[in-house]
Structure 1
C-alpha cells in the first residue's frame, strides 16, 4: 500500500491552515464591530420586543407584568396609530418622489459640464450638512405668516399670504419642501458618482450611431442608472418613513394632528404618557409595515428590471 510522504501531507494541509488562519484573523478584526452591534442593536431589539408584551411604565410604578398580545390588539384598534401611519405614508409619497427626481436632474446638470462645477456641487450638497436645528430656524422664519419671505413674495404679486404650517392644506407640502431642500444633496452625490462610473465608450458608440443628446440620455444614461435609482428609492422611502425631527420642531404634529407622524405618536406614548410597553408594541407594528413596504418596493423594481 502506497503511503503519502510527510512533505506532501504538509503541502496539502498548508492551504487549509492558511484559510483557517485568514478566517480567524477576519473574525478578530470584526469582533469590535460585532460587540457594538450586539450591545446597541441586537440587545435593545430584544429588550424592546419583550417590553412590547408587558405593561411597563416609564415611572416604574406597579412594576412590569406580562400582558401577552394585549398591547398589539390595542395598537391595531387604535385610530391614532392608523392616522399617524397614514400621515407618515403621505409624507413619504410627497417627499420621496421629488427627492429622487430632483437629485437626478441636479446630478445631470453638473455632469454635463456646467461652468463652475465645484460651486454647484458645494451648493447642492451643503444643505445636507446642516443640523436640524439650523434647518428649523431658517424655514421657520421663511414660513412666518406676517414677516416671512415667502408670504412677502406672494404679497408683491397680489396674492394673499398662506398659512404654510398652520393650514392643513399646505402644512404637509411645506414639510416635504423643507425635507427636499435639506436632504436632496445626499441623493445628488450618489447619482453623480453613478454617472461618473458610466463607461465613455457607450456614449461614443451611441454618437457614432447618430444618437443625439436626448437619445443618449434615454438609451444610455438612464438604463445605466437603473440600479442606483432602485437603491436611492428604497433608501429614501425608509428614511422618509422614519421622519420625526423637522416635523416635531416645525409643527409639533399640527395643525390638529394633520402632520403628526407615527414616530411622534410613539414618542408621546412612551415618554409623555409613560406607556413604554404600549409604545414598544406600536414600534414593532410600524417596523413590520416598513419591512413589508420595502420588500414590495424591491419586488416592483426587480420586475421592471427583468
Structure 2
C-alpha cells in the first residue's frame, strides 16, 4: 500500500486508510519544539527523582528487618509499580528530547499503552489495600495482627497485579483489528488508549463503553471504597478521648492520604477531559496527562520519606548520618 505523507513536527496526513501496522507520530509539545531541549531538564529531573527515590524505598525496606511488615510490603509494591510506570513512558519521552524521534510502530504503541494503563490500575488497587490497612490499624488496632497477615498481603498482592492487566487485554487487542486513517498523530509523548481509539476509522462504541466500564469498576470503585474507609477512620478518630490521641491516630494516615490525592485527582480529571471535554484546549490535555503519569511516581517516595518516621530514620542510617541528626529528624 502506497501513501504520500505530509509530515511536520505537528501534523501528519495519510490520505489512505492504514489497516496493518500503522505508524503513529508524537507531537511532543506542539509549538515548543525550539525549546524542547530546555523542557528536557524538568522531565529528566522527574525521572531521576522517581527512579532513584523508589529504588531507595525498596533498598531501605529490603535491608531493614524491622520494616518487614505488611504495611511496608504494600509500600514496596507501590514503589515497584511507580518504577514500572516511570520506565513505561521513558523510551518515547526521552526519544523525543534526545533524538527528536517522534514515530512509533503500532505494536510498540500497544505494549506501551498496556503497560501504562496496567501500572495505573495496579497503583489504584494498592492504594485501596493500603487504605484498608490504615482502617484496620485505627478502627481495630487489637485485631490488626490477626487480620493483616503476611499471607493475606501476598494473596491480595497477586490479585492487585493481575486485575488491571486482565481487564485491559480485550480493549488493547481489539485496537489491532481497527483500520486507521487520516492524521495518525498522538498529542502526547506516549501512547494512551483514549487517544489511539479516536484515530480509528470505524465505530468504536464497544471499546469506548468497555473502557469506561473498566475504569468505573476499577479506579472509580477503588476511589469510592477509599473514601468510605476514610469516612470510617474519621468517625473512629472523632470518638477518641483527647485531641492528642486524635492527632496521633490521623498522622498515621497522612502519607497515604497525600498519595491518594496525588494519584487520583489528575487521573480522574484526565479521564473526564478525554471523554467529555471535546472543547477543552489541547494544552490542558497535555498538561493533565503529564501530571498524571510523571508526578505520582516522583512524589510518592518523597511523601513517605518525609511523613513516615521509620523511613526517615532508615534513610538517615543508610546515608551514615550521625545519630543525633537521626533523633532530630525523628
Q: Which has the larger radius of gyration?
A: 1
Under a length normalisation based on structure 2, what TM-score does the superposition of the two structures give? 0.27
Between 1 and 2, higher relative CO (CA 8 Å, sep ≥ 6) is seen in 1
Which has the larger share of strand? 2
